Chain A
Amino acid sequence: MHTLREAILAFRRSPLLTGLSAAMVGLALFVVGLFALATHNLRLALESVEERIEIVAYIRNSARNDEILLARRELLALPEVLGVELITKEEALEIARRDLPEFGELFTDLAVNPLPASLEVQLRPGRRDPETVERVAARARLYPFIEDVQFGREWVDKLFTLRRIGGLTASVMGAAFAMVAALIIGAAVRIAVFARREEIMIMKLVGARDGFIRRPFLVEGAITGLLGGLMALALTYGTFWVVFRYLFSVAWIPAEWAGLGLLSGTVFGVFATGLAVRKYLREV
């Protein structure tokens, strides 16, 4: 009760100081929020490109229907395979007519359908790396009635390299941003605690136990961190809204990321306060 009352009173006694530290925490986390927004959207863009990775196994005209269906079932049973679609010769022709209208007459006047049937294999998300694509393609090639297997090897390699660079850059930059934010939050909290070091020392001198002194500060640190986190969330959402409304379509960050941001702001607020208070507790 005393802890909570003192923490709230501290905000009321020096609203400018506590507001300023919450704002510093908010701005520091806002930078992290913007980074998260950019990373999330880049990741989504890469994933949407990755979804187009598919292995197409062309079937000889002589293949029997039952062996095609068996192959389809076997491929579907592979753990990395998400789906296998059978495109019949007729469907292939239909797709060609639709997707390639410039060759419309060529496909219309045919006496015999020259296009082969095929099995289109889609891989699960996270299993679209070049090695897996190569392995599944090799597996499909084992069937004697499969004439050829295509998957755009060069394209898959480039995409995967891009993904790795993106992942590494995001990790390094994310860690750097988080560290900068941590330093700023730490400094903001230290300033707030420094302004009240006398209070800590007086409490020590009149016989307060360390825990009794520390608790209201920790609650205050948690509130500052939470307020900063909420401010960062609001600023990030504002940026998202402006970009979405006036520039181009972007996706909002996942709810768990936002939750993690709030939680880390709060936890770090508590942690940094604990460290700052400890310094003064040891002085008297």
Chain B
Amino acid sequence: MIKLINVTREFQGKGKALDDVSFHIKKGEFAFLTGHSGSGKTTALRLIHMADRPTEGETRVSGFSSDRTSRREVWKLRRRVGFVFQDFRLLPGRTAHENVAFALEVTGARSAGIKARAQRLLTQVGLAPKAGSMATELSGGEQQRVAIARALANEPLVLLADEPTGNLDDRATRGIMELFWELNALGMSVLMATHDLELVRKHPRARVLELDQGKLVYDSMKAATAESATTDEAEASTAGG
């Protein structure tokens, strides 16, 4: 679903934001991308939705390769990947409903079905009663729900989230995380960048990828595999002895 193969992203004069990073997130997987500020999380997400291209290596997302997808074709990928931001990025002069409907309009959906579909999406994120409220009148948690509804408009297979709970209080954070897990249960891959290790610890079922100064320093899936291999080895040697 999401594959980074030996990806390096170097910025002139600023060094490497990502350095030879490889990981593979499969369909239906829920993963956290953690690390301190400046560790390369946002760069990795930008590469995944192809707002940026690797200096070396390749990114593959939902069948689109960074090597073969031109700038003009990026829109095809974007319709398969939902994106949620820390600062919500809603259009301020529009209602919650209009913010969601607009994501459907840009894909050329039939105007007759847009209204009902936008309403269904808002219902899915638990915000149907606030459909007519202006985006700026909503609380942080509510705005993030609108942003998630918007990200779901094109029925994506992957949901990318860049610090989506960074501006939210504990209660709103819990609500958003529950929503992500619900979407994940429907088969959607979720990759969420966060520096909040407390939050990561609260969700032990999720895979954890940790970046440090652009390098992938920890992958919980590989660690578990290595641990189980060591245990097997130890058991085998005990049995043999």
Chain A residues within CB distance 8 Å of chain B: 2, 13-14, 198-199, 201-210, 212-213, 282-284
Contact = CB atoms under 8 A, between A and B. Distances in A.
A144 B89 CA distance: 92
Interface of B: 49, 51, 71-72, 75-76, 78-79, 83, 89, 91, 93, 102-103, 105-108, 150-151, 153-154
Contact of B93 (A2, A13, A205, A210): A13
A203 to B, nearest CB: 6
B78 to A, nearest CB: 4
B106 A212 contact: yes
Contact of A203 (B49, B51, B106, B108): B106
Most buried by B among A2, A199, A205, A283: A205
B42 to A, nearest CB: 13
A205 B83 contact: yes
Given A14-B93, A205-B83, A2 B105 contact: yes
A33 to B, nearest CB: 34
A281 to B, nearest CB: 9
Contact of A207 (B89, B91, B107): B107
Contacts of A206: 78-79, 83, 102-103, 106-107, 150-151, 153-154
Contacts of A208: 75, 106-107
Contacts of B103: 206-207
Contacts of B71: 282
B89 A284 contact: no
Contact of B154 (A199, A203, A207, A210): A207
9 contacts: A13-B93, A198-B89, A203-B102, A205-B78, A206-B154, A207-B78, A207-B79, A212-B108, A282-B71
